[in-house]
Structure 1
């Protein structure tokens, strides 16, 4: 397959690119700098810093994976999807299979609840304020007739350079563990490598699963209290840990709980997570962050 990853050098995109390359696929990616393009080349992917370089590729691509992070995600997500569908209509040869488009959403569309378990097919009715725009874009993708649309909703990412948990680890390394939330919260999480394996499986079987939305998380949620307490011990920070009041919509999202129990990826793709859980492997994950941050 020929796969384009939009966001190929990011926390989600790079492991996905590595997984696809290892599986024998041809991978293209956009890079914001020459250094990032060089990184992709070292991973046997093709990188380009021209933001329009991917448009001509659409005539021969099999799959596009959108994992763009940072910035105005609402505008970027909608604009990118519009550009892809327009280019697909103009550039794909007559009779070509629909281009598969895998859009990366997130678990926060499920809202905040410490009592309600949610799955891939739970109706979305009360998304967190930070991402109220996302369900509409999800539906545009999966109901599209211009592309073969698929949506992935990753849980909170851990491993490697730690994603949003980098801020928590940084505070611990400086001697204090403080995090938005209140006691008793739980996290749905997924390791970056397990998520990369899911993107590989989705890409390879895209034409069998078009129109589906997949939650991506470990089968069991984890106690935030236990996470913070163990981090105090591992990092030698001054205890006890503290919860702080969220100061913005992003911190309100971090303080929320989603009790996710995904099933579609396992049922349709045979996918399951393999990495140790976040709290279980916290010592290794904290050490990996330390190594990546120096």
Structure 2
């Protein structure tokens, strides 16, 4: 299988490209950075140094089996231009008799809104507020990747598949690096929102495994959406208490034990406070996928040490 990973040097894209290479596939990795290209090459991944919206990699399209998009577009119109360019290139460059080029798009679960305990979300739960304007809407969903899902799933040229990861953890920590770095700089353990919340999470290695399995079966799962999440949510208060114990923060202030919540200061921090219960099933039943890594709280000392190593190297 010949696979191109867009955003291959990123937090999601790099372990995906690694996992595909280790599974024995021929992997191309797009990156904008010459320095990161060397990192890809060291992992036996062919680096493609360019902007993802350029046509300099389109010569690969006639013989690719799968494109995996792990980019983080901040502008919907810019992203649609990129996607339409890939569609156009596939239509003009691939033989008419060839199978559809599979396109796996990385989205998220924010478009479901802030459901709390009211609704258990699955891979096939409808997005009840597709315009993202209702009372439970998450503001970031208006600006994020999720609004282009339907264009990808309904493409007549590409075989579209969507993966919706929840909060991704591991190594350099992604979203959780904000809390880790705040502690490093200020000595405080804090998190946006209010007590009593929960976190839906997935480790980046388990997420990468899902992408490998989806790529392998892409020709028979086109048009489907797969949520990537651990089987159980994390208790936010328990996560923060555990971190306080690891880093030695303690107090006699009652149940908060040395940590504090704060009002979100920007749209991203507000989105982090989104409360959802997620129970995916399609990846398990169709792809044989099961998360294997320690949960965020159970393995927090390991993940904190990994973060420190990633920023101190």
Q: CA deviation at 1:258?
A: 1.5
1:144 is aligned to: 155
Structure 1 unpaired stretches of 5+:
none
2:83 is aligned to: 81
Please say which of residues 47-56 and 181-190 is displaced more in the overlay: 47-56
Question: What is the DSSP-based 3-state SS (H/G/I as helix, E as strand, rest coil) of the residue aligned with 1:29?
Answer: strand
1:186 is aligned to: 198
1:165 is aligned to: 176
Q: CA deviation at 1:76?
A: 4.1
1:45 is aligned to: 45
Pairs within 5 Å for 1:35-114: 35-51=35-51, 52=54, 53-69=56-72, 72-114=74-116
Question: What is the DSSP-based 3-state SS (H/G/I as helix, E as strand, rest coil) of the residue aligned with 2:174?
Answer: coil
Aligned-partner Cα distance in 1 for 2:120–2:299: 24
Aligned-partner Cα distance in 2 for 1:122–1:38: 41
Aligned-partner Cα distance in 1 for 2:16–2:79: 19
Question: What is the DSSP-based 3-state SS (H/G/I as helix, E as strand, rest coil) of the residue aligned with 1:272?
Answer: coil
Q: Deviations over 1:175-196 (max 9, x none)?
A: 1011111111111100000000
Q: CA deviation at 1:225?
A: 0.7
2:298 is aligned with 1:280: yes
Would the aligned equivalents of 2:108 and 2:146 in 1 still touch at CA under 8 Å? no
2:198 is aligned with 1:196: no
Aligned-partner Cα distance in 2 for 1:87–1:213: 24
Aligned-partner Cα distance in 1 for 2:126–2:43: 39
Cα RMSD between the aligned structures? 1.3
Q: CA deviation at 1:113?
A: 2.0
2:13 is aligned with 1:13: yes
TM-score (norm 1): 0.96
TM-score (norm 2): 0.90
Q: CA deviation at 1:257?
A: 1.1
Please say which of residues 164-173 and 97-106 is displaced more in the overlay: 164-173
Q: Deviations over 1:96-131 (max 9, x none)?
A: 110000000012122112212111111102341211
